[in-house]
Amino acid sequence: MDKALNSCLEKFANLQIPPERDNWGESTAFRYPGKPLLLLSVIDLAATGALKENLVELSHELAETYNRYWETVSPSFSDNRLAATFLEVETEGFWNMTGQTEAAGQLPIDTMGQLHNSYLGAIIDPATLPLLTDQKSRKKLRETLISNYFASDLQQPLMDTALINHAAAIYRKELLSEAVAPTIKTGRGEEINRRIAALGFDSALLELYGHRCATCGIKMMTLEGQSAVGVNRIIPQRVGGSDHPNNGLALCRMCGWSFENGLIGIGEKYEVLIPAAIRLNGNLPAHMLIFKDRGITKIKPESFRPSQDNLSWHRQNILRE
């Protein structure tokens, strides 16, 4: 493995990335950071067991992971060029596009949707795959990518992102295994632990609800890693709300905002409550009214469904009359 690791480290340290001095500064060595960030994302998927053999699929999960790294480097989502980057890695010699369709090569590929219509994904060099499944090798590969393509001001934040991605995946699994009060011990302080818990909790709820809003039923996702549905805690952490899945709901942005502000609630029979207050002060709730008395999505196991104790707290403290 040492020979294969050294070869891979050399390839990772010498990625073909032309300078873009008009767009990028010293923090990324004046180069577009897409390739190293994509490879960091693949390493994280391998660490959580989400990488199927040596196929890197064009998945929502990959894009979500990539976006978290991207946000660490750049505040702008619009220029992350994930689809183009996915294609460009093929020039490195350890990454080959696969599942080519008739659409491939006919049009420029600018979006993940276009890429998905043209390819199944990418095959990683068989000699590289064992390195991604080995913890010590992964660590060296990750450190090589971060130290070679990012200045010191970004190196620790990127290492933090890697830690959060990995620890949150473990935390999610613990929550879904009904572990009693799983704990997070990183030695990195409360802020890192808080981010791990938040990501793990959200990931667990979105998995349980299948990215579908529990009240209106909407499910809309993009291959760029965006979703119309997020997660709302029923009892906020600031007043003692727990990370148990029965203290959360997957809700779309509209339903989530309405729930958080007391304009909808959940009753004792898991029906949607629409208080009279939603129609006051010039509000025009329109389609929201059709959800009244409609049952919410019921997930399994039942122990993960919103607890009535938590919903009762929301009805008493948040729901408007």
Least Cα distance to 86 among 70, 61, 54, 109 occurs for 109
Rounded distance between C-alpha atoms, residue 314 and residue 11, angstroms: 54
Q: What is the pLDDT of residues 177-186, one digit of tens each?
A: 876 667 787 7
Q: Model confidence over 214-253: pLDDT tens digits?
A: 999 999 998 889 999 999 999 999 999 999 999 999 999 9
Q: Six-digit token pair at 240?
A: 């003692």
> For residue 122, how many other CB atoms are within 10 A of its CB?
22
Place of tokens 């060595």: 29
Q: What angle do CA 261, 194, 43 make, to 5 degrees?
A: 115
Query: DSSP per residue over 78-91, as a string?
Result: TT--HHHHHHHGGG
State the first-to-last Cα distance of the chain, in angstroms, to the nearest integer. 66
In whole angstroms, what is the distance from residue 81 CA to residue 17 CA? 14
**Cα dihedral sign for 169, 171, 177, 178?**
negative
The pLDDT value recorded for residue 96 is: 94
List residues bridging with 227 in a β-sheet. 221
Tokens matching residue 300: 């399994």
Tokens read off for 187: 């030695």
Given a cut of 80, whether residue 1 has pLDDT beyond it is no
Buried b (16+ CB within 10 A) or exposed e, 244-261: bbbbbbbbbebbbebbee
For 115-137, write each residue's pLDDT tens digit: 988 899 999 998 898 999 899 99
Mapping DSSP to helix (H, G, I), strand (E, B) and coil, where does residue 117 land?
helix
Q: Please tell me the pTM assigned to this model.
A: 0.91
Phi, psi of 271 (to 5 degrees): -95, 150
- pLDDT surpassing 80 at residue 158: yes
Band of residue 73 on the pLDDT scale cut at 50, 70, 90? very high
Asked if the model's pLDDT at residue 79 lies above 80, the reply is: no
Tokens for 26, please give them. 């010293």
- What's the rounded Cα separation, in Å, for the pair 272 and 264? 7
Structure-token match 């010293």, residue found: 26
Q: Tell whether the model's pLDDT for residue 282 goes beyond 90.
A: no
